[in-house]
Amino acid sequence: MPDLYIFKAAIGMCDPIALQNHNVAIHYVQNTYWRRVDFLEAIPEFQCIDLGAVLANNQSGRVNVVNLEMADNEFGIFRWYPIEDVQILFNHPAGVSKYQLRNLQVPVDAAILFNDPNLVSTEIGVWEDNRPAMVAVNGHAFPMPASRVRALGYRFHTIDPLPISPEEKRAIAQVKAESPNNQRLKDDALMEIALQEGRLPVTHIWCSGRAMGD
């Protein structure tokens, strides 16, 4: 099994966290979606949003990053950075602040390219059309004419995780044999049980955050 997990630091700016036929668990708010990757492609670096001009010692409104939305049954993994000398506050699609400490939401600025050249600390997951939002903060005594953010990453299409490998078929046969109730379940339900119980490898991907204290 290759080293497929979030927040990897490697040569280059971003690696995929799952490959074709690998199982993933998409965590979004209170739900977990057990899926299998059947297609992936790299997304080259692009401008995902311009939060606009920001007055001196001021900040923009919270703006949804619609260019990071994914299609049905798809998720994206992105790393990002601001171009201008502004600080960016990031919010998960459920309104939860990312990088939230007890007394501070930590911003990201253009220095991230020097302090974290792989952009590991900015990695985010996006599930379907549940896009995140950003706020630009201008701490200078002069206005900032633009607040552009660039991103790059991977797009993953997913399907239901029906068993295909000998290992998966053995795992669901074992689950089925352990309980009379399980014998009435279809393969997709048995597969989900095997994944939930850790009998098969799966990569966990958080596409929404968790509020402080939850």
- 38, exposed or middle or buried, with CB in 10 Å at 0-12, 13-18, 19+? middle
pLDDT of amino acid 6:
64
Structure confidence at residue 142 as a pLDDT band (50, 70, 90):
very high
Note the pLDDT of residue 96.
87
Q: Among the listed ranges 9-18, 29-38, 172-181, which one has the minimum average pLDDT value? A: 9-18
* pLDDT grade for 143, boundaries at 50, 70 and 90: very high
**Confidence check: pLDDT of 30 > 90:** no
Name the CA dihedral angle for 53, 58, 46, 128, rounded to a multiple of 10 degrees: -120
pLDDT reported for residue 94: 74
Q: What does the pLDDT read at residue 48?
A: 97
Three-state helix/strand/coil letters over 117-137 = CCCHHHCEEEECCCCCEEEEE
What letter would DSSP give residue 207? S
Q: What is the pLDDT of residue 5?
A: 60
Residue pair 143/55 in contact by the 8 Å Cβ criterion: yes
Predicted local distance difference test score (pLDDT) of residue 1: 43
Instruction: Express each pLDDT in 144-197 by its tens digit.
Output: 999 999 999 999 999 999 999 999 999 999 999 999 999 999 999 999 999 999
Q: In the predicted model, is pLDDT for residue 44 greater than 80? A: yes
- Cα–Cα distance for residue pair 129/64, rounded to 1 Å: 11
Rounded CA Rg of the chain? 20
Question: In this predicted model, what pLDDT tens digit does every residue of 92-138 receive, in sequence order?
Answer: 987 789 999 989 999 999 999 999 988 999 999 999 999 999 999 99
pTM of the predicted model over 0.75: yes
At 155 the three-state DSSP class reads strand
Q: How confident is the model at residue 73, as a pLDDT?
A: 98
| pLDDT per position as a tens digit, 59-88 | 999 999 999 999 999 999 999 999 999 999
> How far apart are the C-alpha atoms of 7 and 69, rounded to whole Å?
21
CB atoms within 10 A of CB 79: 22
What is the per-residue pLDDT for 20? 93
- Closest by CA to 85, choosing from 141, 123, 12, 151, is 141
Sequence-separated contacts (24+) of 181-189 with Cβ below 8 Å: 187/162, 187/163, 188/160, 188/161, 188/162
